[in-house]
Amino acid sequence: MANLLPQCIKCGSPVTDSLEDEIEQHEKIKAGSYIKGVWTCNDCVIAASQGQEKGGGWVTRYYKNNK
């Protein structure tokens, strides 16, 4: 089933916006959001917002380049 799901633009993990807690705990599918035409898992959004990305973060760079 994971092959049918969209992938996070940053880490490539299968991602969805509707996920049961039990499934997410197995860490094979991640919860995330579809924003401005791309899927991003919550883990990557949190990492970017906490400044763990160099150069302003990939999310900022992506959205600036794809308005």
Q: Which helix (H) or strand (E) holds 44?
A: helix 42-49
Predicted pLDDT at 29? 84
Q: Say what the pTM is.
A: 0.63
Give residue 36's domain range. Answer: 2-65
What's the number of domains the chain is made of?
1
Cα angle: 5, vertex 7, 12; to 5 degrees:
140
Pick the more confident residue, 3 or 4.
4
Instruction: Answer yes or no: is pLDDT of 34 > 60.
Output: yes
